């Protein structure tokens, strides 16, 4: 345990002991029978006077007298030297929902909070990152079907594989919470429109998904980002927003698929 952590613990214990009763002496924290005090006694030694000196030193205070120690402790906690034990107790938990938190702990928590950043999005600067290397290895199992779909609908085989990776991670039996099915996650109505009779059949699913991608590419001037946005959110939304819709899911989807495609 470092000195700063020990000092913070001692601040809390000193205040808790001083505020526990109005009849205890100013040096009562060294005589406490609590487990915490026993631990401190073991760490610092058995002699009460030695403990006071060492404790004062750790807290950055002199140890000329117990009274002076009390005044300095009050100063350390931001209170005047004449503050009573009852006032100290008011800083502690006393059946309410409030509790005294040392300034050092508050500062540490604030620093941790300000330095923590959570971002569920794929950053723009990871396009082409080696983090996506070999991510399309699972497409090998369906390589012949993907090549056939690419040739039939003039869609890059790697783009088809990238969509499959993002949609189902190459699981032909995948079903989403929304009801999308198979490798390229076709919605039942879309699958029916594309002539699919079994969305869990890899060849039917991939051929239909590639056909739909071709339709979206034709609609949006062969722009793969807009075609992917339409594949995810619907062509009408891409048209409405004149670009990738401002939906977190769709924006993240496009970035991920493009990373798989361009790596």
b/e string for 204-219 if b means 16 or more Cβ within 10 A?
bbbbbbbbbbbbbbee
b/e string for 109-128 if b means 16 or more Cβ within 10 A?
eeeeeeeeeeeeebeeeeee
Q: Coil, helix or strand for 29?
A: helix
β-bridge partners, 186: 181
Catalytic residue among 42, 167, 203, 249: 167
Q: Coil, helix or strand for 196?
A: coil
167 is catalytic: yes
Contacts 24+ apart (CB under 8 A), 183-188: 183/142, 183/209, 184/160, 184/208, 184/209, 184/210, 184/212, 186/212
Counting Cβ atoms within 10 Å, is residue 82 exposed (0-12), middle (13-18) or buried (19+)?
A: exposed
Question: Cβ of 145: how many Cβ atoms within 10 Å?
Answer: 20
Residues assigned a catalytic role: 167
């Amino acid at each position: 345990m470092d000195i700063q952590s020990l000092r913070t613990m001692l601040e809390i214990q000193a205040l808790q002991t001083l505020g526990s009763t109005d009849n205890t002496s100013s040096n009562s924290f060294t005589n406490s029978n609590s487990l915490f005090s026993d631990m401190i006694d073991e760490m610092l030694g058995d002699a009460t006077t030695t403990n006071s000196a060492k404790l004062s030193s750790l807290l950055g205070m002199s140890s000329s007298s117990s009274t002076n120690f009390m005044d300095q402790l009050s100063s350390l906690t931001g209170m005047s030297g004449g503050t009573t034990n009852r006032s100290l107790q008011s800083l502690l938990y006393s059946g309410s929902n409030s509790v005294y938190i040392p300034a050092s702990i508050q500062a540490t928590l604030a620093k941790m909070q300000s330095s923590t950043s959570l971002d569920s999005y794929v950053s723009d600067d990871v396009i082409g990152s080696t983090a996506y290397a070999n991510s399309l290895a699972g497409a090998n199992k369906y390589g012949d079907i993907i090549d056939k779909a690419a040739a039939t609908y003039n869609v890059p085989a790697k783009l088809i594989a990238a969509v499959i990776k993002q949609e189902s991670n190459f699981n032909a039996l995948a079903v989403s919470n929304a009801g999308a099915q198979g490798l390229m996650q076709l919605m039942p109505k879309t699958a029916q429109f594309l002539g699919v009779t079994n969305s869990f059949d890899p060849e039917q699913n991939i051929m239909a998904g590639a056909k739909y991608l071709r339709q979206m590419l034709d609609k949006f001037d062969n722009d793969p980002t807009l075609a992917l946005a339409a594949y995810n959110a619907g062509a009408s939304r891409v048209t409405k927003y004149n670009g990738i819709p401002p939906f977190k899911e769709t924006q993240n989807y496009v970035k991920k698929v493009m990373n798989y495609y361009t790596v």
